[in-house]
Chain A
Amino acid sequence: MNAPSTDLAPAVQQTTRELLQVRFEFESALHIVPIIAKIERGKLRLEDYRRLLVNLRQQVVDGARWIARAASNIGPEHEELRSMFLRHAVAEHKDYLMLEQDFVACGGMLAEIRSTAKNIGSEALSAWMFQAASRPAPLALIGAMTIIEGLGARVAASWAQVIREQLGLGDDAVSFLRHHGTNDPAHLDALERALDLALSAGTPATEIVRTARIVARLYRLQLEEIDNV
């Protein structure tokens, strides 16, 4: 079924280029999000970091769930992509436990991080993700994963380091960011293969890129709406 990769290469390159642009513009826009600006200026307070962890957790719980739902809507004609989605969901479905552990390691109460509602940005992000994953053959979600994994691969490790430095924390308090800094580059590589397959299967590149742009905006909204629950 797959078209020869030589025919596909320019389309893959073009989509890769457009996704890279969306990723870098997303990264650029994050510098003016207040919580990120604090991290980068070395002005993060311990309480700010705890609030960041609380605000991320609920959406991270949902992350593996929408990927799993998307997998359930991928039929046998895209078996290999379904495997990839499922593997990705398995790899990440307990990531929220790292956020909980980090929160406790920096003085938070487990009951609090578990019980706080999503902020309204996370609500928008999760709701959009679940509806997109509920559509038949939602292969364009590869664009969404590229944004989220791309952020992890490029900036999570440096955030982990500067947060540790400015707050005097140990590695055990930044395990979520460190984990993503270490593992997301490999996930991105897997996504390149997925992108190749999805384009071969006829998924319109415009949909993949548009999905990336929507998720980039909603992810930023989540960070802009810290504690607006």
Chain B
Amino acid sequence: MSEVLLREAFVTALGRCLPGEPVGNAEMEDFIGRICGKASRLGPIALAQNGIRTRHYALDRDGRTRWTNAKLAASALADALAKSEVSAAQIDFLAAATTQNDVLVPGFASMVHGETALGPLEIASFQSVCAGVMMALKTAALQVRADGKRAAAVVGSEFASRFFRPGAYENTDLVDARGAIPKDADFLRWTLSDGASAAIVEPRPNEHSLSLKIEWIELRSFADRVETCMWGGGARDDDSGDVTPWNLAASAGAAVARGDFVLRQDFRLLERLLPMWIAEFLRLVGQGRLTITEIDWLVCHYSAEFLRKEMVALLDKAGCNIPAEKWFGTLPRVGNIGSAAILASLAALVEERPLRHGQKILCVVPESGRCIISFALLTVTTPPGARQ
């Protein structure tokens, strides 16, 4: 076996699309609406738990929109290209991730490509939840490193609010006599919002500005041992955990009436996911891929309830806790934007913090859907003239 020399891969530009103005907690229901005309009782509790203060919606107050998910993604990509040293014509690979595509067919990457000025190029679609963009980023890095691509574009995009309007719930079996929906459905209305982010990946760093070298990306699924924790597009049997797809219902109308298209989350299961995520983190430390003391910034996609005191205490004893001052995230102001979250946070980190050459950034993206955990280690690379 002869050793193959791989090229390196750098994130050379980041972009975002956060549609509209930031929406505060008090105005949220003006945008996502009030189911059966009543204010949600769960809302304030959910907001206290997730700590989100503002978010963006691609809907206006009446639920109208000029956006699609693909347009949000294309807009974030345009933002990244505007900051990039490459032009659209040089992009030869596009990887696109989302939780729910605008349409069932064709793939998301096709729809995003159609909204851009990119020429004919290789594409790949990734349908997962929050971790989908890590799959896209890893594929882009591999395309650049091993397949000779000059410049790859990665997008993660979500248009969640359109599923949260009253019309998505009313006239389904999920609404009870008082006009309320189950907590496992209402909670996500107060958690998820809209936005897109993008990255350009190249085999070389920028000449004029900072780049982030991709050291490695690791992702692992535990779906072999965990029931579906967050789902949409089917009815889950709570006993067996099996999800019956909407398209096996007698008719699309019957699936709608059953509430199959409502996004839901099993909170009880979340408890079981955390040890698996932490074990994976410890595995990387044990393998020497991750050295805790070398991490300068931790960009972790999280929801507040995951940060359990017990876990922090355990990590402390194991010498694996990353001090709070190294954490960076935009959840409180940007909201939880699923697959768009991690690159949007990275974009903010690059803009708002004085990053130095050689600093290490650890990105962590857990996904509750059916239990995935992913990590990326990046090294800040500045042009030689800018180094101190």
Interface residues of A (CB under 8 A from B): 9-10, 13-14, 16-18, 20-21, 23-25, 27-29, 31-32, 40-43, 154, 158, 192
Contacts and interface: CB of A to CB of B under 8 A. Distances in A.
B117 to A, nearest CB: 46
B286 interface: yes
B388 interface: no
Interface of B: 222, 224-227, 239-241, 271-272, 275-276, 278-279, 282-283, 285-286, 314, 317-320
A31 B226 contact: yes
B225 A18 contact: no
Given A29-B225, A41-B240, A42-B239, A17 B279 contact: no
Contacts of A192: 317
7 contacts: A13-B318, A16-B317, A16-B319, A17-B286, A28-B275, A32-B225, A41-B241
B275 A27 contact: yes
Contact of A17 (B227, B239, B241, B285): B285
B272 A24 contact: no
Nearest to B275: A24
A9 B285 CA distance: 17
A32 B222 CA distance: 11
A42 B268 CA distance: 12
Contacts of A40: 272
Contacts of A21: 279, 282-283, 286
Which of A18, A29, A31, A192: most chain B CB closer than 10 A?
A: A31
A14 B319 contact: yes
B272 to A, nearest CB: 7
A41 B238 CA distance: 8
Given A21-B279, A24-B279, A27-B275, A13 B286 contact: no
Given A28-B276, A41-B241, 12 more contacts: A16-B317, A20-B279, A20-B314, A21-B283, A25-B279, A27-B275, A28-B222, A32-B225, A40-B272, A41-B227, A41-B240, A42-B239
Contact of B318 (A20, A32, A43): A20
B154 to A, nearest CB: 30
A13 B319 contact: yes
B239 A43 contact: yes
B318 A24 contact: no
A60 B367 CA distance: 38
A20 B282 contact: yes
A21 B320 CA distance: 11
Contacts of B318: 13, 16-17, 20
Contacts of B275: 23-24, 27-28, 154
Contacts of B314: 20
Contacts of B271: 158
Nearest to B281: A21
Nearest to B227: A41
A41 B239 contact: yes
B327 to A, nearest CB: 20
Nearest to B240: A41
A154 B314 CA distance: 12
Contacts of B283: 21
A162 to B, nearest CB: 10
A193 to B, nearest CB: 12
B279 A28 contact: yes
A23 B278 CA distance: 11
Contacts of B286: 17-18, 21
Nearest to A20: B318
Contacts of B225: 28-29, 31-32
B322 to A, nearest CB: 13
Contacts of B317: 13, 16, 20, 192
Nearest to B314: A20
Which of A21, A27, A31, A42: most chain B CB closer than 10 A?
A: A21
A40 B227 CA distance: 10
B278 to A, nearest CB: 6
Contacts of A14: 319
A17 B276 contact: no
Nearest to A21: B282
A18 B320 CA distance: 11
Nearest to B278: A24
A10 B279 contact: no
A64 B317 CA distance: 27
A106 B180 CA distance: 40
B223 to A, nearest CB: 11
A151 B240 CA distance: 24
Enumerate the 4 nearest inter-chain pairs by beta-carbon distance, A residue then B residue, closest first.
Answer: A13-B319, A24-B279, A17-B318, A21-B282
A17 B224 contact: no
Contacts of B279: 20-21, 24-25, 28
Contacts of B241: 41
A167 B289 CA distance: 46
B272 A17 contact: no
B291 to A, nearest CB: 12
